[in-house]
Amino acid sequence: NAGVMQNPRHLVRRRGQEARLRCSPMKGHSHVYWYRQLPEEGLKFMVYLQKENIIDESGMPKERFSAEFPKEGPSILRIQQVVRGDSAAYFCASSRLAADTQYFGPGTRLTVL
Amino acid sequence: QQQVKQSPQSLIVQKGGIPIINCAYENTAFDYFPWYQQFPGKGPALLIAIRPDVSEKKEGRFTISFNKSAKQFSLHIMDSQPGDSATYFCAASRSGSARQLTFGSGTQLTVLP
């Protein structure tokens, strides 16, 4: 059973470009969570999605950030018009049920030049 | 009220020692307390988790102690090995439809051979 997959593993963008991060949950998991980790800090919750629905986006900045988890395909975290402060590691986690253990992917390390 | 405070920030022990990492929380609605281990360049991996109805849980060399009245919990690593060198994060969440995890700031553990 493959684990949570994220791609790309590393992403470099210039200020003002768009970043698109993908997350494929574990097989049988329909709950996806996105977290952001700044250097030397813990992970901060951003958004929680189920298939085709955003359940909780309380941790996501109101502007430039959006997330989706379509019926088919991976969950996508989109950052428009990136700024240097967006440089971080973005982790996706998935769970089978809402109350189950969250399993994390290897992360996408975004660098904004 | 959503914070989880973790200490120490870094810890160095000799092989065979028993490092102890402490966490304190404020939100009394939290009812699930996992510990995650993270190696450089990797995503967090669940080590062990506890719920407030027990005061201690052991899994292999890892033990969680939980003090509900003090709102504190700690991770003990018995007979630590150089391979345990990693960053450890405590986290907390509460029941409900969304189990967003609130993470501590992390402890960088180094086990010397």
Q: For residue A76, which of A95, A98, A52, A97 has the smallest C-alpha distance?
A: A52
- Interface check for B89 against chain A (CB to CB < 8 A): the answer is yes
- Interface check for A106 against chain B (CB to CB < 8 A): the answer is yes
Q: For residue B108, which of B90, B85, B92, B91 has the smallest C-alpha distance?
A: B85
- Interface check for A48 against chain B (CB to CB < 8 A): the answer is yes
Residue A101 CB contacts under 8 Å (≥ 6 apart), including other chains: A95, B34, B46, B49
CA distance B94 to B92: 7
| Mean pLDDT to the nearest integer, B34-40 | 94
- Positive or negative: CA dihedral B24, B32, B3, B58: positive
**Going residue by residue through chain A (113 aa), what tens digit of pLDDT does each one get?**
579 999 999 999 999 999 999 999 999 999 999 999 988 788 999 999 998 899 999 999 999 999 999 999 999 999 999 999 999 999 999 999 877 889 999 999 999 99
CA distance B20 to B35: 12
| Mean pLDDT to the nearest integer, B77-103 | 89
Three-state SS at B95: coil
Residues on chain B touching A6 (C-beta within 8 angstroms): 43
Cβ distance B43 to A106 less than 8 Å, yes or no, reads: yes
Three-state SS at B65: strand
Question: With 60 as the cut, is the pLDDT of residue B1 above it?
Answer: no
- Positive or negative: CA dihedral A22, A23, A28, A31: negative
| Mean pLDDT to the nearest integer, B80-107 | 89
Give the CA distances from residue A96 to residues A41, A100, B34, B98, in Å, rounded to whole numbers and listed in that order. 27, 6, 17, 12
pLDDT score, position B96: 64
Whether B23 and B89 have beta carbons less than 8 Å apart is answered as no
Query: Would you place residue B94 in the very low, low, confident or very high pLDDT band (cuts 50, 70, 90)?
Result: confident
Whether A47 and A31 have beta carbons less than 8 Å apart is answered as no
Residue of chain B minimizing CA distance to A46:
B100
| Mean pLDDT to the nearest integer, B15-26 | 96
Burial B63-72 (b: 16+ CB within 10 A, else e): bbbbeeeebe
pLDDT score, position A99: 74
Question: With 70 as the cut, is the pLDDT of residue B98 above it?
Answer: no
pLDDT score, position A100: 80
Query: Would you place residue B41 in the very low, low, confident or very high pLDDT band (cuts 50, 70, 90)?
Result: confident
Question: With 70 as the cut, is the pLDDT of residue B97 above it?
Answer: no
Cβ distance A45 to B95 less than 8 Å, yes or no, reads: no
Query: Would you place residue B68 in the very low, low, confident or very high pLDDT band (cuts 50, 70, 90)?
Result: very high
State the CB neighbour count (10 A cutoff) for residue A84.
9
Closest Cα in chain B, distance from residue A43 (Å): 6
CA distance B64 to B44: 18
- Interface check for A90 against chain B (CB to CB < 8 A): the answer is no
- Interface check for A99 against chain B (CB to CB < 8 A): the answer is yes
Three-state SS at B26: coil
CA distance B32 to B90: 11
- pLDDT above 70 coverage of chain B, percent: 96
pLDDT score, position A41: 80
